[in-house]
Amino acid sequence: MKSIAIVIVNYNTREVLRRCLASIDEDEGIEIIVVDNASTDGSAEMVRSSFPAVTLRARSLNIGYGAAANEAIMLCQADAVLLLNSDVLLQSGSAQRLLEYLDCHPKAAIAGPRLLNGDGSLQPSCYPDPTPFNIFLEESSLGRLIHYLPGLRNLYLRTWHHDSARVVPWLLGAALAIRRDAFVTVKGFDERFFMYFEEVDLCRRLRATGWQTEFAPVTSLVHYGGVSTKQRYAEMQRRLYTSLQLFYQQHYSKNQLRLLSLTMILIGCARLVRDLLGYLCQPTGEARRELLASIKVQYHLLRQFILPLTWIRLSKNSHKIEEGSY
């Protein structure tokens, strides 16, 4: 492969997007496309004025992350695309090193770099398939305890050291180098996933057609995480649960879907008890407001998974969400 482009999907993260674009080495001559999902903070105007070489697609409506990424990737002429969240900072030469990795690994449709937190610590980015057991480990935080068990630590992707290349089920979508022809073959992201699980679904469909998703620590990128989604935490948590259900409807049996519901109900009950006790013990202040917000989220989780326990139906419009949620 000869070329790689950079695609960034943005929603209301103007200054973060500015830092992301500034971290891209102009001397590399890489095509850069930004899709702005109807931001109201002046993001599009900032790109036009400060980065005139960037191709900007300013949407009047928020079409969701996957749909925006599809639009930009289809515009590219490059052999590969580095798809970034706006809260990622690149190192010089990162895109080229990921392109070279894809070129040397012809079965890899997606390659993900090592991700770091803002303080330089490792940010886990490799994940197992979202089976009910793995979701229980992750959502209950029990999976983090595996980090302290040397015999199991390297067997569980969430706590693995992320120190060597390997094939994985899926990678965190903050920074993905994507082979464009493979992406086109599976028709890109499934746009029913407005937000969350779009990268899990993409990796799953690519794997079904013989491609691989690979962790490629040939470069390290800083990812701050959640800059856009933190603006509407409760709504984004509800979107996460809806996307999880949609993913199961697409890839798992009805019995596995019911088992997922039981797992999420157990997790929701435990969190609800935790948050209610914390709320009652917290007299005033920001902590009390955060606990109340979390209680509402857990209530929605329980309502969403209890009602359809015997039969989960997602209407054809269930993927839609209030404009401006991403």
Domains of the chain, residue spans: 4-125+162-227, 230-306
DSSP symbols for 88-116: EEPPTTHHHHHHHHHHH-TTEEEEEEEEE
Query: Which H helix or E strand runs over 199?
Result: helix 198-208
Say what the pLDDT of residue 311 is: 47
Say what the pLDDT of residue 97 is: 97
Q: Is 221 left (phi over 0), alpha (psi -120 to 50) or beta?
A: beta
Say what the pLDDT of residue 287 is: 85
pTM metric for this prediction: 0.87
State the DSSP code for 231. G
- Indicate the CATH number for domain 4-125+162-227: 3.90.550.10
Exposed e or buried b for every residue in 235-264, given b needs 16+ CB within 10 A? Answer: bbbbbbbbbbbbbbeebbeeeebbbbbebb
Nearest in space to 74 (alpha carbons), one of 2, 176, 174, 5: 5
State the DSSP code for 8. E
Say what the pLDDT of residue 152 is: 80
Cβ burial, residue 316 (10 Å; 0-12/13-18/19+): exposed
Say what the pLDDT of residue 155 is: 81
Say what the pLDDT of residue 71 is: 95
Neighbours of 154 (CB within 10 A): 12
d(CA 177, CA 103): 11
d(CA 301, CA 240): 10
State the DSSP code for 174. T
pLDDT one digit per residue (tens) for the chain, 326 residues = 789 999 999 999 999 999 999 999 876 789 999 999 999 999 999 999 999 999 999 999 999 999 999 999 999 989 999 999 999 999 999 999 999 999 999 999 999 999 999 999 999 999 999 999 999 988 877 777 887 787 787 788 888 889 999 999 999 999 999 999 999 999 999 999 998 999 999 999 999 999 999 999 999 999 998 676 666 777 888 889 899 999 999 999 988 988 999 999 999 899 899 999 998 887 778 888 888 888 888 888 888 887 655 444 444 444 443 444 44
Say what the pLDDT of residue 230 is: 64
Say what the pLDDT of residue 288 is: 86
